[in-house]
Structure 1
Amino acid sequence: MQLSSMVVCLGEALVDRLGPLGGDPAVDGPVDDRLGGAPANVACGLARLGTPVGFFGCLGDDLIGEQFSALFQQRGVESSGLQMNPDRPSRIVLVRRNQKGERQFQGFAGDQGQGFADQALGPIHLPKGACWLLVGTIPLATATSASTLKAVLDQARQHGTAVALDVNWRPTFWDAAADPAAGPSSDAIAVMRPLLEQAALIKLAREEAIWLFGSTDPQAISAQLPQAPDVVVTDGAEPVRWWMDGASGTQPAFQPPQVVDTTGAGDAFTAGLLHRWAAAPRERIRFAAACGALVCGGAGGIDPQPTEAQVEAFLGGLS
């Protein structure tokens, strides 16, 4: 498949409130608020790399919504599909970071009793020229956004738009009281199943692969689904395993120059993968791994995203 037109990223745009290293962002300071959310991160990453991209999502009619509107305009992300909800605020995610910068999502701030804007995502018309629709599972956690996502998936099927799925399992979005390290319930897996069975490309973290498929072997995961998708399994600093175009391989993770914050590393990886999709699988994965490594050198998932030239310079310095 050639990447020849726009990628559409659909889902949550939010603020990651990063606590001090080793601290609690709910009570300890100073905190560092960064614009984020996996689909928004991927959209901004693709735009910085030079791929035409649009973002569809719902934000509050508030300062965070204004900041995202300005960011998308600055990055060149098509955002005519951005919805502003006057009744619900944009979501703030509390992010704990250990002394090494590894993060864990622990809960939310900003809810005024009616939930968050991303949960109220309304009807969307998918552009017919889109070659990829990039989604995660978080919209499935709420009835309104789940209904919207299902309708967009029907449009993707009708238009021949390939679906790229970054599973991005976050239990607290499904149940605010859930253990942030908990896996999906059987009910949640059942809700995800139609999406898993439509995706042409599925990216999973190692633990997600085990929870959903009982395996970390990308080829075995692909064989469990009727459409036999391309599958990529990431594992933090461990090698990436992949099955694409009928071939398999591994890609060692690159060591970033420094690790400030790992938030958004997986999203930068996804952006790099889609940006280089026309290349051979090994080149796609190598480029994507470099994007993920470089994002770890700065705070948040968007500000430190690299340009294509920066990725090429990083890879050139390794050879």
Structure 2
Amino acid sequence: MSDSAPQVICLGEALVDRLGPLGCDPATADPKDCDDRLGGAPANVACALARLGTPVAFIGRLGADVIGNNFQEMLGNRGVDLRGLQIDPQRPSRVVLVRRDSSGERVFQGFAGDRGEGFADQALTQTSLDPIWCALAAEARWLLVGTIPLATQDSLATLRSAVSQAERDGVRIALDVNWRPTFWDRSAEPLAGPTPEALVLMQPLLEKAQLIKLAREEAQWLFRSSDPAAISASLLQRPDVLVTDGGQPVRWFLAGHCGSMPVLAPPQIVDTTGAGDAFTAGLLHQLVKLIPLTGQPFQLSAKVVEQVVRFAAACGALVCAGAGAIDPQPLPSMVVEFLDQLDS
């Protein structure tokens, strides 16, 4: 564990992505042909931040099983603060079935391992979080959350409590929407949009976040627009907004500046899982360095903002060059080298 106090707190799910063979269904494929990788968006971001050198804590819940043990070892080796990690003695860690097409693009299509009581991440509890929150948040600049914990009552209550405490303590809230319909309804189509009930649960987060990152289709579902400036203007707190769109340009409204940038081509595409999480980590890593004090408004030039987004985009591109969301995450030197090669 890092000796430095966390500057970012990531709250949410840690799980295993079971990657099926390219073009095959992981639910029916021979397990020996599948590739199990540690993942989950908040855990991915925490690992990527630690790899980049930003002190980070992870708040989540895992089963008392092999997956839970592997996560504790991996997160600990990365230097992630694990005081907020809960271990569930009854529910298992979640395994997500990931179907990949021939280009590496993925669809989350179900789960494995449920023994009838659900998964550990669904039971993230507020009572275990309250005693250690103040210690974790003492120097934190950002609390990163997603929408998946909203799908279950216990984790929903814990997420809302953490957001309230972050507001009280002046910790900025970053929201990566990360809509995954199968986490809400296992029978849902993997590409379905949010239900009216899910939209109602998401709205308070959208109204509290200072930074919102979302995919183009998520922007259309939630705001009927993919224009970052228009999305920001529709919310009272006028958050910074970034909209990604797969291989299309990323667009932003950040520190009062609008812009767009073509995606950076990775050295090769093996698997796109975790690319968006690496992007988010690169973004927060840069903002932590550039904005030294909690509660102060962004005062960055348009040129600096573009450099911040470019660094984040490089982090995302490099993750696509390896399997899984965590193992390919780059060191800062790798990001700089990659950007230098693009410029040469």
TM-score bin, normalised by smaller chain: over 0.9
Aligned equivalent of 2:164, options 154, 162, 165: 154
1:11 aligned partner: 12
* Matching residue's letter, 1:23: C
> Distance between the aligned counterparts of 1:13 and 1:251, measured in 2?
30
> Cα distance, 1:138 vs. partner?
0.2
Please report how far the alpha carbon of residue 28 of structure 1 lies from its aligned counterpart in structure 2 after TM superposition. 1.1
Q: For residues 1-319 of structure 1, what are the structure 2 equivalents within 5 Å?
A: 6-29=7-30, 30-123=33-126, 124-125=129-130, 126=133, 127-277=137-287, 278=290, 280-319=304-343
CA distance in 1: counterparts of 2:51 and 2:139, whole angstroms: 21
Q: Deviations over 1:121-161 (max 9, x none)?
A: 01123323211000000000001100010111110010000
Counterpart secondary structure, 1:107: strand
- AA in 2 matched with 1:243: F
Q: How many pairs are equivalent?
A: 316
- Could you list the per-position Cα deviations for residues 19-65 of structure 1 after superposition, in whole angstroms to 9, with x for gaps in the alignment? 00000001113000000000000000000000000000000010000
Structure 1 SS opposite 2:62:
strand
SS at match of 2:83: coil
Give the Cα separation in 2 of the matches to 1:36 and 1:169.
16
CA distance in 2, matches of 1:274, 1:281: 12
Measured after TM superposition, the shift of residue 5 of structure 1 is 5.6
Q: In the alignment, is the contact (CA less than 8 A) between 2:6 and 2:57 conserved in 1?
A: no
Identity of aligned residues (%): 63
Alignment partners' CA distance in 2, 1:284 and 1:12: 26
1:99 is paired with a residue of what secondary structure? coil
Q: Which amino acid is the alignment partner of residue 259 of structure 1?
A: I
For residues 131 and 255 of structure 1, the distance between their equivalents in structure 2, rounded to whole angstroms, comes to: 31
| Secondary structure of the structure 2 residue equivalent to 1:239 | strand
SS at match of 1:197: helix
| Matches of 1:185 and 1:17, distance apart in 2 | 26
One-letter code aligned to 1:296: C
Answer whether contact 2:6 2:81 (CA < 8 A) is retained. Answer: no
Q: What secondary structure does 1:318 align onto?
A: helix
Q: Secondary structure at the match of 1:81?
A: strand
Per the normalisation by structure 1, the TM-score is: 0.98
What amino acid is the match of 2:266? P
The AA in structure 1 aligned to 2:109 is Q
* Structure-2 separation of matches of 1:41 and 1:153: 20
**CA–CA separation in structure 1 for the residues paired with 2:124 and 2:285:** 27
Q: Deviation string for 1:184-219 (max 9, x for gaps)? A: 011111100000000000000000000000000000
* Equivalent residue letter for 1:56: I
Structure 1, residues 162-187: CA drift from partner, whole Å, max 9, x if none?
00000000000000110010000111
- 1:225-264 superposed Cα distances (whole Å, 9 cap, x missing partner): 1100000000011100000111100011011111000000
